[in-house]
Structure 1
Amino acid sequence: MTGAAGDPGAVERALAAVAPERWEAYEGLLRALAGGQVWMLLWHGSPGSPDAQYGNMDVGGHGYAPCATSPAQLAASGWTRAHEVVSGPEIAASLYQSRWGLWLDPHRPGGGVGVPWADLRRIALGLDRLPAGPLHISEPAGQSSPFFAVLEQQAGEVRPLRSLRRAWVRPVLGEAYLAIGLDLYDASPPSVEAARALVQRAAAQAPDGPGVSTVMMADEYDPVAMWMWANARPFFDRQAAGQPAPTGFGYAAQPPAGPAQGWPQAPWPGYPGR
């Protein structure tokens, strides 16, 4: 599928500014990708054909689909097979769900730049909605604060809530914040809203505290949720406390608590083109 028209050199110029530890420049590259397009290299087939397949690279055990950032870079790459022009948000949404990244201009001196799947997820869902990585995640200090006391006291009243976890998150850019992981029996919008309202009420008890964000533990792509499954014990656990699990429509069909299976995925021959 052809990407939206735009400045064909925007991503290429943003890439030229990227250097190690220059996180603002890297964030600028992500913004350019979010508003631009890339030239995907097709290893098999032609654009739109059923057998179309993007090329692939393995870097440090992680899969990436290579691309060029402009017509000039496509020509400089010497690629002689077909290619496909795709908008940045479209390719980001397509790749991150299989935990594949995007590698920009691998033919450049130095090898170009890889954008991991977690950053593609930010492009797909909105750069302003998700924190800028890499993230430093740790156990929060002050775990006996009034905020946590209110959460523990009132959590049992929120029927869809199975457990709560917590983490202190320091993005590479922006302010650090407290993340509360919501593990729900029922992920319907009313249930999610009820759990988030609980966190908002508790945050109101500590207005001078740090920023607070909620994380859905069922989100298998959220790096904070992944860290919590691996490293954080629940500070509220309905089943451990002996409280009965909710029953009724929608609850019995929910999967058991725990991290998503199947990650990381093994490399595969290539990502299908579109």
Structure 2
Amino acid sequence: MTLAAALETDEVTLVVATRDRPDQLRETLPHHRAPVIVVDNGSRQPPEVEGARLISLGRNLGAAARNIGVERAETPFVAFADDDSYWKPGSLTRAAALLRSHPRTALLTAEVRVGPSGRLDPTSAAMATAPLGIPPGGAGPAVLGFLSCAVVVRRDAFLAAGGFQPRLLMYGEETLLAADLAAAGWQLSYRPDLVVHHFPSPAGRKPRARRRREARNRVLTALLRRPPSVIADALGAAARTDPLAVAAVLPHLPWALRHRRVLPHEVENGLSILGT
């Protein structure tokens, strides 16, 4: 797998987390137009990534693998891509310029176009309606969530917020990080002129296991940051989704309660407006 596209910026490092999906990585890697760090999450056979830096973890850290890529990056800004996604040419240069000109912004999330047809991802469509408005000095509509394959972050802010929480592993890991960045006073903005192409494949995915993990992570995130009413709602939804999701919370309950930190009113109010 070789990087073939000309680099468009040296201010952004692309961090790509992958695990046992060499075919997808082979398709997307040549499209990347910034220095690339590939973090391998314990693949049975580590991928070959000529032209990129490879970090082999030897085990699956889920979304937290991206933290290691960010730590190793030497640029002020870091973009994420999955092994089945890539950024449209020009997007990373534009993102770097926006972050330079908006010093209170820690995260920009892009418009996501899905599959060969370029269908607009529903999450992007919802962000475009700007339910939280555009704050003074903001780079775009305010958001309190994102898709991990479609963000550029300010490296120092990401690391100060702790990055992705390892206990969540994956699925829904974005919510906690977005809330913590906002609680620290950072702005998070949607920019439809930044575009990511995403080509998800159902091969190897386990929908029931994913739903269970998503439900568990919603409960853990609520326990860590949200008021009791939201915790109760998350527990009820998890029980309806899969009783095993509630059981999966129990081993992490003491940890979650020890690390509980209620969000500032303005952040909680924003999450309430979004219905999350």
Smaller-chain TM-score range? under 0.3
Alignment TM-score, normalising by the size of structure 1: 0.28
Alignment TM-score, normalising by the size of structure 2: 0.27
Structure number having the greater helix percentage: 2
Larger gyration radius, structure 1 or structure 2: 1
